[in-house]
Amino acid sequence: MIDPEPIQPTEQPAVDPADASVISPPREKWNSAELLGDRIEILIQHGSEVYRLRRTRQDKLILYK
């Protein structure tokens, strides 16, 4: 029987701490308070488009393109 070669650890690429997708798995659900904080509106970049997520006076959310 032939002994298998020992497995060598692979070198991991440097991780940018600002890239949270590398550090933690993607989330399926976000709390609006986490996104908006105390703001009424935030801008969201999606590809080449910019969207506005706005909280109304009735505490509803509206997404504008």
pLDDT averaged per 10 residues, the chain (length 65): 57 60 73 93 94 96 96
Cβ pair 35, 43 in contact under 8 A? no
| pLDDT at position 27 | 73
Cβ pair 65, 46 in contact under 8 A? no
Cβ pair 15, 8 in contact under 8 A? no
- Overall pTM surpassing 0.75 (yes/no): no
User: 3-state DSSP call for residue 4?
Assistant: coil
| pLDDT at position 61 | 96
Residues facing residue 54 across a β-bridge: 41, 62
| pLDDT at position 30 | 86
| pLDDT at position 13 | 59
CATH code that applies to domain 32-64: 2.10.70.10
| pLDDT at position 33 | 92
Query: What are the extents of the domains in the chain?
Result: 32-64
Cα–Cα distance measured from residue 28 to residue 44, given in angstroms and rounded to the nearest whole number:
17
- Outline where 1-65 has alpha helix (H): 20-23, 32-36
